[in-house]
């Protein structure tokens, strides 16, 4: 079952990189490309905060 793009709360603390709408949304929110987002998730995991910090440092 696909992730619901209207969910909030805990769903917004994790990045589901396999969901195209989440990649699009997080890329816009974090000001990065989809490829940069995927690289960040690969490097630090699915935590939105960890990805945010990783992108800020790089």
22 belongs to a structural domain: yes
pLDDT of residue 1: 43
In degrees, to the nearest 5, what angle opens at C-alpha 34 toward C-alphas 15 and 24? Answer: 65
Domain range holding 38? 17-57
Query: SS3 of 46, please?
Result: coil
Q: Is the pLDDT of residue 53 over 60?
A: yes
pLDDT of residue 38: 97
pLDDT of residue 9: 52
Structure tokens at 35: 């490829």
Number of compact structural domains in the chain: 1
Q: Has this prediction a pTM greater than 0.85?
A: no
11 belongs to a structural domain: no
Q: For 1-52, write each residue's pLDDT tens digit.
A: 456 666 555 468 999 999 999 999 999 999 999 999 999 999 999 999 999 9
């Amino acid at each position: 079952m696909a992730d619901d793009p209207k969910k909030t709360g805990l769903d917004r603390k994790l990045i589901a990189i396999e969901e195209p709408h989440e990649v699009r949304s997080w890329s816009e929110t974090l000001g990065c490309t989809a490829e940069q987002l995927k690289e960040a998730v690969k490097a630090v995991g699915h935590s939105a905060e960890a990805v945010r910090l990783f992108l800020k440092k790089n």
